[in-house]
Amino acid sequence: MSPLDFRTQPRIRARILASAAIVSLIAAGAIGESALTGPHAAQAAPVVTSGLQGESMPSFAPLIASVKPAVVSVRVKIAQSNASWNDFSGQWSNLPPEIQRFLKQFGNQNGAVPNSPPSVMMGEGSGFFISSDGYVVTNNHVVQNAKSVTVTTDDGKVLDAKVIGTDAKTDVALLKVDAPGDYPYVSFAKQEPRVGDWVVAIGNPYGLGGTVTAGIVSADGRDIGNGPYDRFMQIDAPINKGNSGGPTFNMQGQVVGMNTAIFSPSGGSVGIGFDIPANTVDQVVAALEHGGVVKRGYLGVEIQAVGPDIAESLGLKKAEGAIVDKTMSGTPAADAGLKAGDVITKLNGQPVQDAGDLTRRIGSMKPGDKVELTYLRDGAEKAADLTLASQKNETVAKAETDKSEGASTLGVELAPADRVAGAGGKGVAIVNVDPNGEAAAKGLKAGDVILDVAGKSVSTPAEVKSEIASAKQDGKTAVLMRIQTADGDHFVAIPFPKA
Protein backbone atom coordinates (compact mmCIF):
# COMPACT_ATOMS: atom_id res chain seq x y z
CA MET A 1 0.00 0.00 0.00
CA SER A 2 1.39 3.44 -0.97
CA PRO A 3 1.66 6.26 1.61
CA LEU A 4 -1.18 8.04 -0.14
CA ASP A 5 -3.38 4.92 0.11
CA PHE A 6 -2.46 4.60 3.78
CA ARG A 7 -3.51 8.14 4.59
CA THR A 8 -6.76 8.05 2.61
CA GLN A 9 -7.96 4.61 3.72
CA PRO A 10 -9.78 5.84 6.87
CA ARG A 11 -11.58 8.54 4.84
CA ILE A 12 -12.74 6.01 2.26
CA ARG A 13 -13.95 3.72 5.01
CA ALA A 14 -15.85 6.63 6.58
CA ARG A 15 -17.50 7.52 3.28
CA ILE A 16 -18.61 3.88 2.75
CA LEU A 17 -20.08 3.74 6.24
CA ALA A 18 -21.89 7.04 5.75
CA SER A 19 -23.33 5.87 2.42
CA ALA A 20 -24.55 2.68 4.04
CA ALA A 21 -26.25 4.64 6.79
CA ILE A 22 -28.10 6.85 4.26
CA VAL A 23 -29.31 3.81 2.31
CA SER A 24 -30.63 2.35 5.56
CA LEU A 25 -32.49 5.57 6.37
CA ILE A 26 -34.09 5.67 2.93
CA ALA A 27 -35.20 2.10 3.29
CA ALA A 28 -36.71 2.87 6.66
CA GLY A 29 -38.52 5.91 5.29
CA ALA A 30 -36.69 8.32 7.59
CA ILE A 31 -35.76 10.64 4.70
CA GLY A 32 -37.00 10.96 1.18
CA GLU A 33 -35.02 10.78 -2.00
CA SER A 34 -35.66 14.44 -2.81
CA ALA A 35 -33.89 15.43 0.39
CA LEU A 36 -30.69 13.92 -0.98
CA THR A 37 -30.81 15.45 -4.43
CA GLY A 38 -32.02 18.96 -3.37
CA PRO A 39 -34.59 21.11 -5.14
CA HIS A 40 -34.50 21.48 -8.90
CA ALA A 41 -32.88 24.72 -10.18
CA ALA A 42 -36.22 25.89 -11.58
CA GLN A 43 -37.79 25.49 -8.15
CA ALA A 44 -35.09 27.46 -6.17
CA ALA A 45 -36.29 30.70 -4.59
CA PRO A 46 -34.48 33.80 -5.95
CA VAL A 47 -32.53 36.12 -3.64
CA VAL A 48 -34.79 38.99 -2.61
CA THR A 49 -33.16 42.42 -3.27
CA SER A 50 -36.16 44.69 -3.71
CA GLY A 51 -36.09 45.81 -0.07
CA LEU A 52 -32.47 47.03 -0.16
CA GLN A 53 -31.92 50.79 -0.26
CA GLY A 54 -28.63 50.76 -2.16
CA GLU A 55 -29.31 53.91 -4.15
CA SER A 56 -30.10 55.95 -1.04
CA MET A 57 -27.00 54.83 0.93
CA PRO A 58 -24.25 57.47 1.21
CA SER A 59 -21.32 57.14 -1.17
CA PHE A 60 -17.91 58.78 -1.04
CA ALA A 61 -17.51 58.46 -4.80
CA PRO A 62 -18.53 62.05 -5.75
CA LEU A 63 -16.24 63.46 -3.05
CA ILE A 64 -13.30 61.33 -4.14
CA ALA A 65 -13.79 62.20 -7.80
CA SER A 66 -13.55 65.91 -7.01
CA VAL A 67 -10.54 65.94 -4.65
CA LYS A 68 -8.35 63.01 -5.71
CA PRO A 69 -6.72 64.85 -8.65
CA ALA A 70 -5.12 67.25 -6.15
CA VAL A 71 -3.38 64.45 -4.21
CA VAL A 72 0.15 63.49 -5.27
CA SER A 73 2.83 60.98 -4.46
CA VAL A 74 6.08 62.51 -3.18
CA ARG A 75 9.30 60.69 -3.97
CA VAL A 76 12.67 61.81 -2.59
CA LYS A 77 16.33 60.90 -2.94
CA ILE A 78 18.07 61.06 0.43
CA ALA A 79 21.82 61.20 0.94
CA GLN A 80 23.12 58.01 2.57
CA SER A 81 25.90 58.65 5.07
CA ASN A 82 28.90 56.33 5.16
CA ALA A 83 28.74 56.30 8.93
CA SER A 84 25.31 54.76 9.08
CA TRP A 85 26.25 52.00 6.63
CA ASN A 86 29.51 51.25 8.38
CA ASP A 87 27.73 51.05 11.70
CA PHE A 88 25.43 48.40 10.25
CA SER A 89 28.24 46.50 8.52
CA GLY A 90 30.17 46.26 11.77
CA GLN A 91 27.22 44.45 13.34
CA TRP A 92 26.86 41.93 10.47
CA SER A 93 28.38 39.06 12.40
CA ASN A 94 25.97 39.61 15.29
CA LEU A 95 22.89 39.05 13.15
CA PRO A 96 21.06 35.70 13.34
CA PRO A 97 22.13 33.23 10.61
CA GLU A 98 18.69 33.25 8.95
CA ILE A 99 18.81 37.07 8.66
CA GLN A 100 22.31 36.91 7.18
CA ARG A 101 21.10 34.38 4.59
CA PHE A 102 18.15 36.64 3.71
CA LEU A 103 20.37 39.68 3.24
CA LYS A 104 22.83 37.70 1.15
CA GLN A 105 20.01 36.51 -1.08
CA PHE A 106 18.31 39.86 -1.52
CA GLY A 107 21.16 42.30 -0.83
CA ASN A 108 21.71 43.12 -4.53
CA GLN A 109 21.35 41.61 -7.97
CA ASN A 110 24.58 39.64 -7.55
CA GLY A 111 23.25 37.88 -4.48
CA ALA A 112 25.61 39.55 -2.01
CA VAL A 113 25.47 42.42 0.43
CA PRO A 114 27.21 45.51 -1.00
CA ASN A 115 30.61 46.37 0.48
CA SER A 116 29.97 50.10 0.15
CA PRO A 117 26.87 52.15 0.90
CA PRO A 118 24.56 53.29 -1.89
CA SER A 119 25.02 56.93 -2.87
CA VAL A 120 21.36 57.69 -2.24
CA MET A 121 18.34 56.13 -0.61
CA MET A 122 14.79 56.48 -1.89
CA GLY A 123 11.80 57.49 0.16
CA GLU A 124 8.13 57.96 -0.58
CA GLY A 125 5.23 59.81 0.95
CA SER A 126 2.15 61.75 -0.06
CA GLY A 127 1.16 65.37 -0.50
CA PHE A 128 -1.47 67.64 -2.02
CA PHE A 129 -1.70 70.80 -4.11
CA ILE A 130 -2.90 73.89 -2.26
CA SER A 131 -2.64 76.33 -5.16
CA SER A 132 -3.10 76.28 -8.92
CA ASP A 133 0.50 77.39 -9.51
CA GLY A 134 1.95 74.23 -7.98
CA TYR A 135 2.51 74.60 -4.24
CA VAL A 136 2.39 71.21 -2.50
CA VAL A 137 2.10 70.42 1.22
CA THR A 138 3.64 67.32 2.81
CA ASN A 139 5.36 66.24 6.03
CA ASN A 140 8.78 67.50 7.00
CA HIS A 141 9.90 63.94 7.75
CA VAL A 142 9.07 62.94 4.16
CA VAL A 143 11.50 65.45 2.58
CA GLN A 144 14.01 65.86 5.39
CA ASN A 145 17.61 65.64 4.08
CA ALA A 146 16.32 65.20 0.52
CA LYS A 147 18.81 65.66 -2.34
CA SER A 148 15.99 65.88 -4.86
CA VAL A 149 12.19 65.70 -4.85
CA THR A 150 9.66 64.66 -7.48
CA VAL A 151 5.88 64.50 -7.28
CA THR A 152 3.66 62.18 -9.28
CA THR A 153 0.20 63.48 -10.06
CA ASP A 154 -3.00 61.46 -10.09
CA ASP A 155 -2.79 61.11 -13.89
CA GLY A 156 0.78 59.81 -13.76
CA LYS A 157 2.82 62.92 -14.59
CA VAL A 158 6.19 63.09 -12.83
CA LEU A 159 7.23 66.64 -11.90
CA ASP A 160 10.42 67.94 -10.33
CA ALA A 161 9.90 69.98 -7.19
CA LYS A 162 11.96 71.99 -4.73
CA VAL A 163 11.58 72.43 -1.00
CA ILE A 164 10.44 75.97 -0.19
CA GLY A 165 10.62 75.53 3.58
CA THR A 166 10.18 73.08 6.43
CA ASP A 167 9.14 73.24 10.07
CA ALA A 168 10.36 70.30 12.14
CA LYS A 169 8.41 71.35 15.24
CA THR A 170 5.06 70.78 13.50
CA ASP A 171 6.36 68.33 10.84
CA VAL A 172 5.09 70.47 7.95
CA ALA A 173 6.91 71.09 4.65
CA LEU A 174 6.04 73.22 1.62
CA LEU A 175 7.12 72.25 -1.91
CA LYS A 176 6.80 73.94 -5.29
CA VAL A 177 6.78 72.05 -8.60
CA ASP A 178 9.11 73.47 -11.23
CA ALA A 179 6.84 73.11 -14.26
CA PRO A 180 4.30 75.91 -14.70
CA GLY A 181 0.70 74.86 -15.00
CA ASP A 182 -2.86 75.15 -13.77
CA TYR A 183 -2.97 72.41 -11.17
CA PRO A 184 -6.07 71.12 -9.37
CA TYR A 185 -5.90 72.08 -5.69
CA VAL A 186 -7.85 71.78 -2.46
CA SER A 187 -8.57 74.21 0.38
CA PHE A 188 -8.23 73.99 4.14
CA ALA A 189 -11.39 73.80 6.24
CA LYS A 190 -12.05 76.87 8.37
CA GLN A 191 -13.98 74.89 10.98
CA GLU A 192 -12.60 71.98 12.95
CA PRO A 193 -14.46 68.67 12.58
CA ARG A 194 -16.35 67.18 15.49
CA VAL A 195 -15.52 63.88 17.10
CA GLY A 196 -17.67 61.40 15.21
CA ASP A 197 -17.70 63.26 11.88
CA TRP A 198 -16.97 61.25 8.73
CA VAL A 199 -13.54 61.80 7.14
CA VAL A 200 -11.76 60.43 4.09
CA ALA A 201 -7.98 59.99 3.91
CA ILE A 202 -6.07 59.75 0.64
CA GLY A 203 -2.44 58.74 0.28
CA ASN A 204 0.15 56.53 -1.33
CA PRO A 205 0.48 53.49 0.97
CA TYR A 206 3.31 51.12 0.06
CA GLY A 207 3.76 52.90 -3.27
CA LEU A 208 0.43 51.68 -4.59
CA GLY A 209 -0.66 55.12 -5.79
CA GLY A 210 -3.72 57.08 -4.75
CA THR A 211 -5.60 54.99 -2.19
CA VAL A 212 -8.74 56.07 -0.35
CA THR A 213 -9.83 55.07 3.15
CA ALA A 214 -12.74 56.31 5.23
CA GLY A 215 -13.53 56.56 8.90
CA ILE A 216 -14.48 59.03 11.60
CA VAL A 217 -12.74 61.53 13.83
CA SER A 218 -11.98 59.48 16.94
CA ALA A 219 -10.62 62.24 19.20
CA ASP A 220 -9.03 65.67 19.10
CA GLY A 221 -6.30 67.53 20.94
CA ARG A 222 -4.07 64.46 21.23
CA ASP A 223 -0.56 64.97 22.63
CA ILE A 224 1.61 62.02 21.54
CA GLY A 225 4.93 63.47 22.69
CA ASN A 226 6.02 64.25 19.15
CA GLY A 227 6.92 67.87 19.79
CA PRO A 228 6.11 71.06 21.71
CA TYR A 229 3.10 71.87 19.54
CA ASP A 230 1.31 68.52 19.58
CA ARG A 231 -2.42 68.80 19.14
CA PHE A 232 -3.22 65.96 16.80
CA MET A 233 -6.59 64.93 15.45
CA GLN A 234 -7.10 61.18 15.85
CA ILE A 235 -8.89 59.30 13.08
CA ASP A 236 -9.68 55.64 12.46
CA ALA A 237 -9.43 55.79 8.66
CA PRO A 238 -6.54 53.37 7.93
CA ILE A 239 -3.17 55.09 7.46
CA ASN A 240 -0.16 53.05 6.40
CA LYS A 241 3.43 53.54 5.30
CA GLY A 242 3.53 56.11 2.50
CA ASN A 243 0.40 57.96 3.67
CA SER A 244 2.50 60.55 5.49
CA GLY A 245 1.75 64.01 4.13
CA GLY A 246 -1.53 62.98 2.53
CA PRO A 247 -4.75 64.92 3.19
CA THR A 248 -7.81 63.99 5.21
CA PHE A 249 -11.07 65.51 3.97
CA ASN A 250 -14.44 66.29 5.47
CA MET A 251 -17.60 65.54 3.51
CA GLN A 252 -17.47 68.98 1.88
CA GLY A 253 -14.13 68.17 0.23
CA GLN A 254 -12.11 70.46 2.51
CA VAL A 255 -8.83 69.42 4.12
CA VAL A 256 -9.29 68.97 7.87
CA GLY A 257 -5.90 67.40 8.56
CA MET A 258 -2.66 66.00 7.19
CA ASN A 259 -1.77 62.35 7.83
CA THR A 260 1.35 62.27 10.00
CA ALA A 261 1.65 59.36 12.44
CA ILE A 262 0.08 56.14 13.59
CA PHE A 263 0.11 54.11 16.76
CA SER A 264 0.82 50.51 15.86
CA PRO A 265 2.63 47.57 17.45
CA SER A 266 2.96 45.95 14.02
CA GLY A 267 3.85 48.87 11.73
CA GLY A 268 0.49 48.73 9.94
CA SER A 269 -2.77 50.49 10.66
CA VAL A 270 -4.69 49.37 13.72
CA GLY A 271 -7.23 52.17 13.49
CA ILE A 272 -5.28 54.78 15.47
CA GLY A 273 -3.97 57.49 13.17
CA PHE A 274 -2.97 61.06 13.87
CA ASP A 275 -3.41 64.14 11.69
CA ILE A 276 -2.00 67.64 12.03
CA PRO A 277 -5.10 69.87 12.17
CA ALA A 278 -5.79 71.97 9.09
CA ASN A 279 -5.54 75.30 10.91
CA THR A 280 -2.02 74.44 12.10
CA VAL A 281 -0.92 73.38 8.62
CA ASP A 282 -2.47 76.49 7.11
CA GLN A 283 -0.66 78.83 9.53
CA VAL A 284 2.70 77.12 9.06
CA VAL A 285 2.39 77.02 5.28
CA ALA A 286 1.61 80.74 5.18
CA ALA A 287 4.83 81.43 7.11
CA LEU A 288 6.91 79.07 4.95
CA GLU A 289 5.62 80.63 1.76
CA HIS A 290 6.84 84.04 2.89
CA GLY A 291 10.44 83.41 3.86
CA GLY A 292 10.82 79.65 4.21
CA VAL A 293 10.91 79.71 8.03
CA VAL A 294 8.38 79.91 10.85
CA LYS A 295 8.95 82.73 13.34
CA ARG A 296 7.30 82.03 16.68
CA GLY A 297 6.77 84.15 19.72
CA TYR A 298 9.06 83.51 22.67
CA LEU A 299 8.16 84.08 26.31
CA GLY A 300 11.37 82.93 27.97
CA VAL A 301 10.20 80.38 30.53
CA GLU A 302 10.41 76.66 31.13
CA ILE A 303 7.00 75.43 32.26
CA GLN A 304 5.11 72.30 33.21
CA ALA A 305 1.51 71.36 33.80
CA VAL A 306 -0.06 71.78 37.23
CA GLY A 307 -0.92 68.23 38.26
CA PRO A 308 -3.15 67.29 41.22
CA ASP A 309 -0.16 66.92 43.58
CA ILE A 310 1.25 70.31 42.65
CA ALA A 311 -2.18 71.94 42.88
CA GLU A 312 -2.70 70.51 46.37
CA SER A 313 0.74 71.59 47.57
CA LEU A 314 0.06 75.15 46.35
CA GLY A 315 -3.46 75.25 47.74
CA LEU A 316 -5.09 75.56 44.31
CA LYS A 317 -8.70 74.48 43.82
CA LYS A 318 -8.11 73.06 40.33
CA ALA A 319 -5.18 71.36 38.61
CA GLU A 320 -5.02 73.88 35.78
CA GLY A 321 -2.51 76.34 34.40
CA ALA A 322 1.24 76.19 33.79
CA ILE A 323 3.79 76.50 36.57
CA VAL A 324 7.05 78.29 35.78
CA ASP A 325 10.07 76.03 36.32
CA LYS A 326 12.66 78.58 35.26
CA THR A 327 12.84 82.08 33.80
CA MET A 328 15.56 82.81 31.26
CA SER A 329 17.53 85.99 31.86
CA GLY A 330 17.13 88.75 29.32
CA THR A 331 13.76 87.46 28.06
CA PRO A 332 10.28 89.02 28.08
CA ALA A 333 9.26 86.86 31.06
CA ALA A 334 12.28 87.91 33.11
CA ASP A 335 11.81 91.56 32.22
CA ALA A 336 8.16 91.32 33.33
CA GLY A 337 9.20 89.92 36.71
CA LEU A 338 8.02 86.31 36.37
CA LYS A 339 9.93 83.78 38.43
CA ALA A 340 9.98 80.09 39.25
CA GLY A 341 6.88 78.97 41.13
CA ASP A 342 4.49 81.40 39.45
CA VAL A 343 1.43 79.67 38.02
CA ILE A 344 0.26 81.19 34.71
CA THR A 345 -3.53 80.92 34.67
CA LYS A 346 -4.61 83.16 31.75
CA LEU A 347 -3.26 84.43 28.45
CA ASN A 348 -4.97 87.55 27.12
CA GLY A 349 -7.86 86.91 29.48
CA GLN A 350 -8.45 83.33 28.34
CA PRO A 351 -7.82 80.42 30.76
CA VAL A 352 -4.64 78.36 30.32
CA GLN A 353 -5.49 74.68 30.58
CA ASP A 354 -1.98 73.31 30.91
CA ALA A 355 1.63 73.81 29.80
CA GLY A 356 0.95 72.48 26.30
CA ASP A 357 -1.95 74.87 25.85
CA LEU A 358 0.23 77.85 26.75
CA THR A 359 3.11 76.67 24.55
CA ARG A 360 0.88 76.24 21.50
CA ARG A 361 -0.84 79.58 21.95
CA ILE A 362 2.39 81.51 22.44
CA GLY A 363 3.92 79.61 19.51
CA SER A 364 1.05 80.64 17.25
CA MET A 365 1.93 84.30 17.86
CA LYS A 366 4.71 86.31 16.26
CA PRO A 367 7.71 88.09 17.74
CA GLY A 368 6.62 91.60 18.65
CA ASP A 369 3.07 90.64 19.62
CA LYS A 370 1.90 92.11 22.92
CA VAL A 371 0.28 89.77 25.43
CA GLU A 372 -1.14 89.91 28.93
CA LEU A 373 -0.36 87.13 31.40
CA THR A 374 -2.33 86.47 34.56
CA TYR A 375 -0.51 84.43 37.16
CA LEU A 376 -0.63 83.37 40.81
CA ARG A 377 2.19 84.03 43.25
CA ASP A 378 1.88 83.01 46.89
CA GLY A 379 -1.87 82.71 46.41
CA ALA A 380 -2.29 86.25 45.05
CA GLU A 381 -3.32 86.97 41.46
CA LYS A 382 -1.03 89.24 39.47
CA ALA A 383 -0.83 90.44 35.86
CA ALA A 384 2.01 91.31 33.51
CA ASP A 385 2.06 92.94 30.08
CA LEU A 386 4.94 91.97 27.82
CA THR A 387 6.10 91.84 24.22
CA LEU A 388 7.09 88.47 22.76
CA ALA A 389 10.61 87.97 21.43
CA SER A 390 12.02 85.51 18.87
CA GLN A 391 12.58 81.94 19.94
CA LYS A 392 16.02 80.83 21.02
CA ASN A 393 17.52 77.59 22.25
CA GLU A 394 18.42 77.15 25.90
CA THR A 395 20.67 74.51 27.44
CA VAL A 396 20.99 73.25 30.99
CA ALA A 397 24.19 71.68 32.30
CA LYS A 398 23.93 68.09 33.45
CA ALA A 399 24.59 67.45 37.14
CA GLU A 400 27.13 64.80 38.08
CA THR A 401 27.42 62.99 41.41
CA ASP A 402 30.42 62.92 43.73
CA LYS A 403 29.90 62.53 47.47
CA SER A 404 27.05 62.63 49.92
CA GLU A 405 26.19 64.35 53.15
CA GLY A 406 23.07 63.72 55.20
CA ALA A 407 19.76 62.11 54.26
CA SER A 408 16.18 63.36 54.08
CA THR A 409 13.05 61.64 55.25
CA LEU A 410 11.91 61.23 51.63
CA GLY A 411 14.52 58.65 50.71
CA VAL A 412 17.39 60.72 49.27
CA GLU A 413 20.94 61.44 50.30
CA LEU A 414 21.99 65.05 49.77
CA ALA A 415 25.05 67.24 49.43
CA PRO A 416 25.54 70.96 48.70
CA ALA A 417 25.67 71.39 44.94
CA ASP A 418 28.91 73.37 45.10
CA ARG A 419 30.60 70.33 46.62
CA VAL A 420 29.47 67.93 43.87
CA ALA A 421 31.37 67.98 40.59
CA GLY A 422 29.23 69.25 37.72
CA ALA A 423 26.20 70.06 39.87
CA GLY A 424 26.74 73.81 39.66
CA GLY A 425 26.94 76.32 42.44
CA LYS A 426 23.26 76.51 43.42
CA GLY A 427 20.97 74.17 45.31
CA VAL A 428 21.39 70.79 46.93
CA ALA A 429 22.51 67.80 44.88
CA ILE A 430 20.86 64.38 45.19
CA VAL A 431 23.68 61.84 45.34
CA ASN A 432 21.74 58.72 46.24
CA VAL A 433 18.08 57.65 46.06
CA ASP A 434 16.32 54.92 48.00
CA PRO A 435 14.52 52.91 45.27
CA ASN A 436 11.65 52.27 47.68
CA GLY A 437 11.27 55.88 48.82
CA GLU A 438 8.76 58.57 47.90
CA ALA A 439 11.35 60.55 45.91
CA ALA A 440 12.16 57.56 43.69
CA ALA A 441 8.47 57.01 43.07
CA LYS A 442 8.28 60.56 41.68
CA GLY A 443 11.24 60.03 39.37
CA LEU A 444 14.02 61.76 41.30
CA LYS A 445 17.46 60.27 40.76
CA ALA A 446 21.09 60.79 41.63
CA GLY A 447 22.46 63.82 39.82
CA ASP A 448 19.30 65.90 40.14
CA VAL A 449 19.63 69.16 42.04
CA ILE A 450 17.02 70.54 44.47
CA LEU A 451 16.77 74.30 43.90
CA ASP A 452 13.69 75.23 45.94
CA VAL A 453 11.62 73.56 48.63
CA ALA A 454 8.13 74.93 49.32
CA GLY A 455 9.00 78.04 47.34
CA LYS A 456 12.25 78.82 49.21
CA SER A 457 15.75 78.48 47.79
CA VAL A 458 17.98 75.92 49.49
CA SER A 459 21.73 75.43 49.52
CA THR A 460 22.32 72.82 52.24
CA PRO A 461 20.75 69.49 53.20
CA ALA A 462 19.77 71.03 56.54
CA GLU A 463 17.70 73.70 54.76
CA VAL A 464 15.94 71.01 52.72
CA LYS A 465 15.03 69.12 55.89
CA SER A 466 13.92 72.30 57.63
CA GLU A 467 11.56 73.31 54.83
CA ILE A 468 10.14 69.77 54.65
CA ALA A 469 9.47 69.87 58.39
CA SER A 470 7.77 73.26 58.07
CA ALA A 471 5.52 71.95 55.30
CA LYS A 472 4.51 69.05 57.54
CA GLN A 473 3.73 71.38 60.43
CA ASP A 474 1.56 73.48 58.10
CA GLY A 475 -0.59 70.41 57.48
CA LYS A 476 0.61 69.76 53.93
CA THR A 477 0.40 66.22 52.61
CA ALA A 478 3.16 66.85 50.06
CA VAL A 479 6.10 69.19 49.62
CA LEU A 480 6.74 71.05 46.35
CA MET A 481 10.32 71.02 45.10
CA ARG A 482 11.92 72.65 42.08
CA ILE A 483 14.36 70.18 40.59
CA GLN A 484 17.12 70.75 38.05
CA THR A 485 17.76 67.78 35.77
CA ALA A 486 19.62 67.20 32.53
CA ASP A 487 16.40 68.10 30.69
CA GLY A 488 15.81 71.38 32.53
CA ASP A 489 14.05 72.61 35.66
CA HIS A 490 10.68 71.32 36.77
CA PHE A 491 8.49 71.06 39.87
CA VAL A 492 7.78 67.82 41.68
CA ALA A 493 5.26 67.42 44.51
CA ILE A 494 6.54 64.63 46.77
CA PRO A 495 4.00 63.21 49.24
CA PHE A 496 5.01 62.59 52.82
CA PRO A 497 5.19 58.96 53.92
CA LYS A 498 2.02 57.85 55.67
CA ALA A 499 2.40 57.11 59.36
Residues in contact with 160: Cβ distance below 8 Å, sequence separation at least 6, in sequence order:
148, 149, 150, 177, 178, 179
Q: Which has the higher per-residue pLDDT, 203 or 262?
A: 203
Q: What is the CATH number of the domain that holds 365?
A: 2.30.42.10
Residues in contact with 105: Cβ distance below 8 Å, sequence separation at least 6, in sequence order:
111
Residue 483 lies in a domain: yes
Q: Which candidate in 141, 148, 434, 470 is catalytic?
A: 141
Q: Which candidate in 73, 126, 167, 171 is catalytic?
A: 171
Q: Which candidate in 73, 126, 218, 244 is catalytic?
A: 244
Is residue 290 annotated as a catalytic residue, yes or no?
Answer: no
Q: How many domains does the chain have?
A: 4
- CA–CA distance from 70 to each of 76, 207, 259 (Å)? 19, 17, 15
Residue 17 lies in a domain: no
Percent of the chain's residues with pLDDT above 90: 24
Residue 62 lies in a domain: no
What's the N-to-C CA distance of the chain in angstroms? 82
- CA–CA distance from 13 to each of 7, 19, 23 (Å)? 11, 10, 16
Query: What confidence tier does 86 reach under pLDDT thresholds 50, 70, 90?
Result: very low
Residue 193 lies in a domain: no
Is residue 73 annotated as a catalytic residue, yes or no?
Answer: no
Query: Among 16-20, 312-316, 416-420, 476-480, whose mean pLDDT is lowest?
Result: 16-20
- Residues 226 and 267 both lie in one domain: yes
Question: How would you class 194 by CB atoms within 10 Å of its CB: exposed for 0-12, middle for 13-18, buried for 19 or more?
Answer: exposed
Q: Over the stretch 128-152, which tens digit does the pLDDT of each residue have?
A: 999 999 999 999 989 888 888 999 9
Model confidence, pTM: 0.57
Q: What is the CATH number of the domain that holds 104?
A: 2.40.10.10
Is residue 141 annotated as a catalytic residue, yes or no?
Answer: yes
- Please say if the pLDDT value at position 499 is more than 70: no
Which residues constitute the domain of residue 242? 198-289
